[in-house]
Structure 1
Amino acid sequence: MARPKNQAGRRAHLVQAAKHAIAERGINGLRAIDVAAHSELGAGSVAYYYPDLGDLVREVHEDAVSRFYWSRREQGGAGAQPAIRLARIIRSGIPNSRDDVDFQVLNELHTHAYRDAFHAQLMAEMYRLEVSLYATALNEGVDAGAFTLALPVDTTASNLVAMEDAYGLHFMGGTPLGVEDIFRMIIANAEVLTGCRLEES
């Protein structure tokens, strides 16, 4: 990885390095040297840009939420048929593997939010964004005549977010469920909720 040459670039570089450090060590006890181990910059540079590592962790959380949401929007494929779009959105909310750094970091930050108002606010915002992502796809499906919802849109969207969060947490925690198992189970529930057979392509 090339060494960033400007301050904004160095900060962005350190945010990504901190993600890997958090995934490896967790948040508690995180040190500048841990971040530096995943960076082209030394521990002194980490301390220079982030004298308080809490500021770096907050930037990591903001970056993780933004990347996760916008990645999901892109993967959902606006303009796709409703059944395909909803299936893609479900797929995008499931970790690809237990080595998925973004999911590891978000899980770490989720538990941290219990004791920190800043992180709690970001987790609440991420939940709101995910529900809105599903709600938009569901409304489009209803408007197109593809979905007949068994529950109100917001309830359906919230249930889908809760399912992917719960299954994802168990998966990352080592529960013997495969990615495809989780996808099929959420899809099965979504089909009941929408009255529509879902497919990715």
Structure 2
Amino acid sequence: MLPSIMEVAMQHGLKLNERSTRSVKDVRFKCPFCQVTEHPKYKDKYYLSLNTSDNVFQCWSCGESGGVLKFIALLENKSVEEVKQELFHEGNNRVQRKLHPAEKLTPRQLKAAGFLLKNWGKLSPKEKDWIWSEWQLYVEQEKRLGYMFFLEAKTSEEIFAVIYEYACKLSVNPEDLLIEFSQAKFADKKKPRWAESAEEWIEKVVL
């Protein structure tokens, strides 16, 4: 049995609109998936709508939507397949199926790479391999672009703006990305391919 989307929201500390009630289909919360509610102009806006009858969600600002499994995956930065395994295999003796690397991609990562998948079970191993390959290409491209802007940044504010932008695109921790870019910049040994490519491009442009 699927968990209640309302209970999931409360367990994760989402801010409820006190004017909405828990007995109606449309219960409003501050959306944790978009940044618009952080602006003072929108501080009293509750764009995340939970339909407690159908167990689905929709944000009327950023557009994120789906069922309770995707909701949990987004809140916990996990893949939907990982959430399924945790919910339906926990406490029993069945051996968990080993997930393909592509099945571990979070909803944000899949969306960033241009995939809108609802059922992994319908995909063949080759199709999963292709999705994983496309994701790796996407990461390579975004890291190369982000690293170029990182190298060209002149102030700490510019550096952090670049790091935050590309951390969001890759759905990774900004601190981890800052460390990775900094290590690439000052590496004595062979750099990652995306870093070498970025530095070569900058050198050509400067020359």
Where is the helix percentage greater, Structure 1 or Structure 2?
Answer: 1
Higher relative contact order (CA 8 A, sep 6+): 1
**TM-score above 0.5:** no
Tell me the TM-score normalized by structure 2.
0.29
What TM-score results when the alignment is normalised by the length of structure 1?
0.29
| Larger Cα-atom Rg | 2
